[in-house]
Structure 1
C-alpha cells in the first residue's frame, strides 16, 4: 500500500534544470548543455529505479497486554524480518503508535535477519490505541526520489476505564407471583409454568393434578424470580458533559469509571448486570463498550420510556454529568418500575442542591474514586 510517493524538492529542481538544458542545447546548438541535461535526466531515472525497489519485509506485533486499565503499563513488541534473498535493506522506518511515531532501525538489515523494537504504549487516556502500520521510507542516494510504503496491519490496545473497588452490591428484589415484593439477599425459586414430561425430569417436579386432567405427565418449570439485577444507564449525551478540554470531558471519564466499577462489582458477586447508553444499548463485553464510548447527540426521554416499558432490572443506576442535573427528575420517575433508583452526578459540585424526593438516591462526586467511596456508604439498597 502506497502512502506517499514523488520527487523531492531537489529532484524537482534537477528535473527543471535538465529540461531547460536540453531545450537550450538542442535549440541553440550547444552540445555541452544538452549533455548536462541528459546527465540530469539519467540521474532522475536511476534514482527512480533505486527507490522503486521494494524490500520484502515481514512484520509481527505482540501487545503485552492488549487490554489494560487507564494508567496501567502496556508495551508493544515489533519484529521486522527481511524476507528478501539478494540484498540487505537500508531503510528508514516509523511505526505509528496512537498519535505519535516510533523510529524503527532497519539500517543494513541483511536477508533472513530481523530486528526487534520494544516500546511503551500510551495509556493515559481511555480508548482504543491503534498501533501501526509500519511506514517504511526509501530514497535514492542523491535524495531525488523518496517513496513511502506501509507494511503489516494495525494492532489495537484497549485502555479500559479505571475500576474502583465497590464493596456494597444491591441485594435485589423478590417478586412473588402472589404480588408480594421483598428485598432478599439471595434468589428464590418459584413456579413459572407447566410443560410435558421428558426423559430425565425429576419425578418430584411432576404436577399430578394437571397430569390427571391432561392425560399426560406434566412437570413444573421453576424460575428464580428474586435474582438481583442491576441496570447501569450511562449518559453519553454531549449536552450532559459540557466543558470539553482537548477532546476530553472529565465528568464523562468519571462516569465511565463508575460504570466499569459497578460492572466489575456485579461480576465479582455473580449478580446479573446490564449496561445501557442513552444513545444505544450496549452489546459485547461491557468494558470494551465503555472503552469505545464517546459523546453523541441522544434523546434521554426516549430512553426513559424504553426502560419503563421493558423493566429490565430492579436497581437502576443513572450516571450523568453537569448537564444532566435537570434530568434527574425524569429518571427519578422510573421509581415505579425500578424499586431502587440511584443517580451519580459528576463534575457539578457547585450546582443547585438536588432533591432526593420519590426515593431517588443521588451521589455527587468529582471522580470515580469519590463515587466508589460514596457508593459504599449508601444504605438505601
Structure 2
C-alpha cells in the first residue's frame, strides 16, 4: 500500500492548511485541511479491503518444444459474499504482463482468460502470480497484492528426428565388431520381490540374510548404452547475442534429438554436462534448464575433468560429445576415451560462422560439423557409421 504522487501532495497540502488554519485563526483553511484528511482516510479504508480471489491456472501443455504453441488458461473466482470485484489485474508470463479484466465480477462468479505462452526460446517460463492493483476514486492510495500460486511452463529444445542410432555393437569407421564375446546377459542389481516375479530369479542367499525376498535384475549388455556429453562452457560457445548463444541452443537440440532416438529404440541413454556432474532427472527437463557456465580466467580444465570422470566410470559404449566452435582445439581429449568407449562421435555446432566439412573421421572419432540442429540430424542420418 503506497501513496501516489497525488496522495502525497494532498497529505502535505492538508497538513499545511491545518497548521495554518489553527495557527493564524482561519477556520476556512482548517476546514479544507480536514476535508483533505477525510479524503485520505476514505482512500485508506478503500485500499485496506482485500478481495477474496481464488486463482487457478492450467497450462496446455506444460511441456512444449521450442516454437510450438502453448496456452495458459487463468480462472479467477470472486469468493467474497457481498462485494463485487472491480479490479485492475495483470498476470505475469515470463518477462511480460498480461492484462486480466476483472470488471464487475460478482460474488461467487468466475471469469476465464486464455493467452499464449511465449515459446520462442528454450527454458523455463515462470507464470504468475496474479497481481491485483487497487486505487481509490481520487487516485490517492494504490495497493497491489499477489493472488494464486505461480506455475512454470518448460520449453524443451526442438527435436529433429534421427533415422538410426547405434544398434547393439560398437562400431569402427571401417566396419563393425562385436563387443560382447561371451554372452549378453549379466547381473546388474538386486531389488525387492513384487507379485508376479519369477521365483527362479530370487537370490536366496541375500533373501535369507536380510529377511526379505530379493530378486536379481539382469542387464542385456548387447544393447548399446549411449552417453551424451553436452558442453555447457561459455568458452565453447563464445558468440552470445542478447544473452543467447545460438550454437549452444543448437547443441541442446542435437542432444534432445539423440536422446529421443534412443528412447524410441528402447536403448538406455545417459545425459551428462561438462560443468555439471548430475545424472538424475528427466533428460529433456535438464536440457530445458541447461545454461552456459563461465570458467576460470586462467586454465580451464573442466573438459579434462569430465573426460577423466567418463574414463573412470565407463557409463556406456557409445559416447556422443556435443560442443561449439570454441572447443575445436580440445577434441584430442575425446580421443583418449576410445578405449572404454569403442564408438566416439563428436558434434561441433558452429552456427554457420565457423563452417566445417560435414562428417568425417578425426583420430578414430566420427566428427560432424553442423550449423544447427537440423543440419546435425541430416549429417547424422547420412553417416555410414550406422
| CA spacing shift, 1:14–1:74, aligned 2, 3 Å | same
Residue pair 2:4, 2:140 contacting (<8 A) in 1 also: yes
CA contact (8 A) 2:58 2:73 kept: yes
- The question of 1:149 aligning with 2:145 is answered yes
Which residue does the alignment assign to 1:282?
Answer: 279
What residue number does 1:342 align with? Answer: 345
Alignment of 1:1-381 (within 5 A): 5-173=1-169, 182-183=177-178, 188-190=183-185, 200-201=199-200, 223-280=219-276, 281-297=278-294, 299-347=302-350, 351=354, 356-381=361-386
In the superposition, the TM-score normalised over structure 1's length comes to: 0.87
The answer to whether the Cα contact below 8 Å between 2:351 and 2:372 also exists between their aligned partners in 1 is no
Secondary structure class of the residue paired with 2:155: strand
Q: Secondary structure at the match of 2:363?
A: helix
Distance 2:305 2:161 in 1: 32
Structure 1 residue 189: deviation in Å? 2.9
Residue 44 (structure 1) shift? 0.5
Per-residue deviation, residues 27-59 of structure 1 (Å, max 9, x unmatched):
111111111111101110110101110010000
> Distance between the aligned counterparts of 2:187 and 2:104, measured in 1?
74
Task: State the SS of the aligned residue for 1:379.
Answer: coil
CA distance in 2, matches of 1:191, 1:16: 84
Given the superposition, is the C-alpha separation of residues 44 and 9 from structure 1 closer, same or farther in structure 2, using an over 3 Å criterion?
A: same
Following superposition, the deviation at residue 318 of structure 1 comes to: 0.4
Kept after mapping to 2: 8 A contact 1:171/1:183? no
Indicate the RMSD between aligned Cα atoms, in angstroms: 2.6
- Seen in structure 2, the aligned counterparts of structure 1 residues 99 and 199 have a Cα distance that, compared at 3 Å, is closer
- The Cα shift of 1:166 comes to 0.3
Question: Structure 1: which 5+ residue stretches go unaligned?
Answer: 175-180, 203-219
- Structure 2 residue runs of 5 or longer lacking an equivalent are 171-175, 191-196, 202-215, 296-301
In the TM superposition, residue 380 of structure 1 has moved relative to its aligned partner by 2.4
What is the CA deviation profile of residues 343-372 of structure 1, one whole-angstrom value per residue up to 9, with x for unaligned ones? 000116564968843211110111100000
Q: Distance in 1 between matches of 2:76 and 2:354?
A: 55
State the number of aligned residues. 352
Q: Is the 8 A contact 2:91 2:127 kept in 1?
A: yes
Question: Is the Cα–Cα contact under 8 Å of residues 235 and 278 in structure 1 kept in the other structure?
Answer: yes
Q: 1:229 & 1:148 partners in 2: Cα distance?
A: 54
C-alpha separation in 1, matches of 2:52 and 2:292: 42
Greater Rg by CA: 1
* 3-state SS in 2 of match to 1:118: strand
How far residue 199 of structure 1 moved from its aligned partner, in angstroms, is 8.9
CA distance in 1, matches of 2:199, 2:279: 37
Q: Using the TM superposition, give the Cα deviation of residue 65 of structure 1 relative to its aligned residue in structure 2, in angstroms.
A: 0.7
